[in-house]
Amino acid sequence: MRILGIETSCDETAAAVVEGPGEGPWRLRSNIVASQVAIHREWGGVVPELASRQHVRDICGVVERALADAGLGWEGIDGLAVTQGPGLVGSLLVGVSFAKAAAWARGLPLVGVHHIAGHVESLWLAHGPLPEPAVVLVVSGGHTSLYHVPAAGRSHLMGRTRDDAAGEAYDKVAKLLGLGYPGGPVIDRLAAAGRDDAVDLPVTRLTHPDRNARERDSSFDFSFSGLKTAVLRHVRLRQAALGVAQLPEAEVADLCASFQRVVVRTLLSRTFDAARAVGAKAVGVAGGVSANSRLRADLAARGQSRRLPVFVPPIALATDNAAMIAAAGLRQLARGERADDRLNAVPSLALG
């Protein structure tokens, strides 16, 4: 089966072709991403209206490139998969409308895919079947969620952020340090030159249950807004002490390294605690922040000391892409799932 995946949930217009049987192994035939970062950088973050307009401009060309790179015409495609949510509604609607129109015109089956299920699936696409059960952390600009994956294609939510996503914290800290957007890659780079114990930043411990989800055990939840505020307070104090708006390079590097140490430690502690709680045989980390060099290094070290195999996707499958959506869609189509013409974008679609 060959599936064309389409992803437009935020600020990347993406299309990809994935081929294989329902349960894998899968082969990636093409993976095209048109990034809008240059457009949104000017505003310091994603501007939803600009994002949806750019998706409209890019979607046809991106799909044509994905087919051409795969060496296929429409007749070589057996089905379509599109991100249904969560995401920005105007952005999602471009992909969903395009996919519905293409499926109708070509008489192809279509499925709606949960964006986070796609991030989880990026690990299976890159590495083949993971040992089960697995625990997977999806950590990006919009999400920080921990899943118990008892079997491929099934995810149960174990924990999530109560406020900012980890990638969002990176982006906000970079903004207040005047480092530009997106913040993750630049903080990652600057942190390499800093001392990670230079600034004493708090590690958030959540002691109360989530008031919005009382039925769920919330001991694996995350919170990053306190850390972001602590960085802000530190920056203001240092600016006042030195009488400057821009802190010296060495201080910025130290602050980036210290911030990154706390974020990575928080993410990995919670993930490995969850792995122990469910007797996981593998740990995976996916999503844009999984590109982080320290997260990758510390994950490998923890995996080795706990004797657990650990998995991250290659960078091209870590940040938003349509290959992961095609892979998740392939599994769903093989299970017999079908969307009809009522398929709609759902900005706050739930998973697990």
Instruction: Draw the binding track, 72-111, toward ligand KG4 (x: CB under 6 A; -: no contact).
Output: ----------------------------------------
By CB under 6 A, tell whether 182 contacts ligand KG4.
yes
Binding site for Zn ion (CB under 5 A): 140, 320
Between CA 108 and CA 45 the distance in angstroms is 36
Q: Does 183 bind ligand KG4 (CB under 6 A)?
A: yes
Measured over the CA atoms of residue 37, residue 42, residue 46 and residue 51, the dihedral's sign is negative
Of these partners, Zn ion, ligand KG4, none, which one is at the site of residue 194 (CB under 5 to 8 Å by kind)? none
Q: Which two tokens stand for residue 153?
A: 């294609």
Positive or negative, the CA dihedral 249, 255, 256, 258 is: positive
Q: Across the strands, what pairs with 3?
A: 18, 79
C-alpha span between 28 and 34 (Å, rounded):
18
Distances (CA, A) of 265 to 23, 133, 190, 322: 34, 23, 18, 30
Residue among 112 and 182 whose Cβ is closer to ligand KG4: 182
**Shortest separation between residue 25's beta carbon and Zn ion, angstroms:** 23
SS3 225: helix
Residue with tokens 């996919």: 99
Among residues 247 and 328, whose Cβ is nearest to Zn ion?
328
Smallest distance, ligand KG4 to C-beta of residue 244, A = 26
Q: Which residues lie closer than 8 Å to 4 by C-beta, 6 or more apart?
A: 15, 16, 17, 63, 66, 67, 77, 79, 80, 81, 102, 326
Residue with smaller CB distance to Zn ion, 143 or 172: 143
Q: How far is the CB of 143 from Zn ion (least distance, A)?
A: 7
The reply to whether 142 sits near ligand KG4 by the rule CB under 6 A is yes
Is the separation of the CB atoms in 320 and 7 below 8 Å? yes
Task: Examine residue 188 and tell whether it contacts ligand KG4 (CB under 6 A).
Answer: yes
CB of 170 to ligand KG4, least distance (A): 5
194 binding ligand KG4? (CB under 6 A): no
Can you point out the beta strands (E) in the chain?
2-7, 12-19, 27-35, 79-85, 110-114, 134-139, 144-151, 154-160, 282-286, 310-311
Joined tokens for residue 296: 């990758």
Contact call for residue 184 and ligand KG4 (CB under 6 A): yes
Minimum CB separation from ligand KG4 for residue 324, in Å? 10
Amino acid at 148: H
289 is a contact residue toward ligand KG4 (CB under 6 A): yes
Question: Counting contacts by CB under 6 A, is residue 258 touching ligand KG4?
Answer: no
Give the tokens for residue 48.
Answer: 């939803």
Q: How far is the CB of 263 from ligand KG4 (least distance, A)?
A: 8
Q: How far is the CB of 289 from ligand KG4 (least distance, A)?
A: 4
- Closest CB to ligand KG4 among 68 and 192? 192
Instruction: Choose between 37 and 151: whose C-beta lies nearer to ligand KG4.
Output: 37
Nearer to Zn ion, 158 or 289 (CB): 289
CA distance 327 to 25: 10
Stated length of the chain: 352
Residue among 3, 6, 10, 257 that touches ligand KG4 (CB under 6 A): 10
Count of beta carbons in the 10 Å neighbourhood of residue 171: 24
Residue placing its CB nearer to ligand KG4 in the complex, 9 or 332: 9
Contact region with ligand KG4 (CB under 6 A), list: 14-22, 163-171, 270-278, 338-346: 163-171
CB of 320 to Zn ion, least distance (A): 4
Task: Work out whether 319 is an interface residue with ligand KG4 (CB under 6 A).
Answer: yes
Give the residues lining the site for ligand KG4 (CB under 6 A): 10, 140-142, 167, 170-171, 182-185, 188, 287-289, 291-292, 319-320
